[in-house]
Amino acid sequence: MITWYRTILILWRICFEKCRCLRQLWNTLFQRGNAMIRLSAYLVKILVFACFISLALPVHTQARPLVNTIRIDGAIDPAVELYISRSIQAAQENNAQALIILLDTPGGLLDSTRSIVKDFYEARIPIVVYVWPEGARAASAGAIITLASNIAAMSPGTNIGAAHPVSGTGGQMDPVMSRKVENDTAAFVRSIAARRHKPIDWADQVVRKSVSITDTEALKKGVIDIIAKDQADLAKQMDGRAVDTASGRMVIRSANARIEPISASLRERFLHAVDNPNITYILMLLAVYGLIFELSNPGAILPGVVGGISLIMALLSFAVLPINLAGFLLILFAVALFLIDLHVPTHGILTVGGIIAFAVGSLMLFESTDPAFRLSVVLVGTMAVMTALFFLFAVGAGVRAQKNPIVTGTEGMIGTVVEAKTDIDPTGKVFAEGSWWNARAEGEPIGKGECVRIVGNRKLTLIVRKESNSDQSNNRNP
């Protein structure tokens, strides 16, 4: 109000105090005219003032309610946790009627799921989880997140459930540890169901027996509240529903609402991409091999740059993914065995050991109770075979190189025929491989210009022997 009042005063002074022409006109009409002119002047003054008031005051209209949406497509990881937390804060600042989470996930990390559930409990606006589009699923961690929402909804043709914890490699966990994880997860899900007034028995079975149901079955059992064909239908159906939030009971007014998405930031999209265990695994291998090639061939530059960038990105992923230290050390041990086998003649024994350590370490690398964070067995097998072939080729090339005869230096000149440039009795000079060499005759003395064969080397002195005339034409060194 203070701003509009000051604006009106400024406009009034400009028009009636600062404008000389208007003041002269005012004096003429108001002070010197008759009563009718004065009345007209008053009316003009009131009309002008009213115009300024109508232009200055804001126009209040009935705004449509706002509903924000976000989309989660893929595994539940720390990047998704960050995105959901930020979106809840943004929707609260926007005074949105609700935040709709469009969900399609195979599962994810239990730690991230727990953090997301806490954010739901602390939200001051209704949180709606909508399993969308048709054919989508809310499996494992997705089922827990759906249960924790204020309103759970599904599209036709979707399913929910199968939240039984499994090992990160897909195999069986230790029986004692398996029971501990199962009981802990089941208690967590039952507490969510009790708070959100969902069937507790089904919540327990979804963990212990991995039950999974369709959208119509979920609605009949009370697992979800709405089946909606699209977002507009969902907004219409949840209008007028009362839910409990951190700020108290709230009635949702979403009929004819504006549906505005909250996009993931570049940082969140990047983290979600590199949090994929398969991508992290490839980045780690690129980092290892890039740095090995750079250290083996200083000045190559490109392998070092690629390896350095891959290392930083892999470390970023390691900071948020559940890494098994034993698996990581096995991979480093395998690389060390490969490098040692390149320089020590073990005939490939270390390479075989490295291949075994590499494969076992890769399968153990990520430690998670959800199959969404399981390394692809095909990827592990492919990389193990490629690594084995590379180092076997490198080791084989090294062994073959050791068996080849030396063809450079003084050893490489043995057996060649050259011409004596001086008398060699017993010492003299020969010209070989573009250089003058000291030579010592083996056997009878050698005259200048005769052809000799290099038969040895002793302290940079070539040992030569007179060549027979029959072999001179065939073996003479140019």
| Catalytic residue numbers, as ranges | 140, 180
* Contact indicator for 158, 132 with CB cutoff of 8 Å: yes
- CA-nearest of 145, 135, 21, 30 to 77 is 145
The whole-angstrom separation of Cα 241 and Cα 128 is 12
Work out the angle between the directed axes of helices 266-274 and 277-296 (0-180°, nearest 10). Answer: 80
Residues 6+ apart with CB under 8 A from 247: 124
β-sheet bridge partners, residue 424: 446
* Length reported for the chain: 478
3-state helix, strand, coil in the chain (%, to 5): 55, 20, 30
**Helices 110-122, 141-148: crossing angle, 10 deg rounding:** 10
Amino acid symbol at 334: A
The Cα–Cα gap between 52 and 396 comes to: 92
Query: Quick check: 364 and 171 in contact, CB under 8 A?
Result: no
State both tokens at 304.
Answer: 């070092």
Given a contact cutoff of 8 angstroms between Cβ atoms, the answer to whether 432 and 412 are in contact is no
Nearest 5 degrees, angle CA 153-CA 157-CA 160? 55
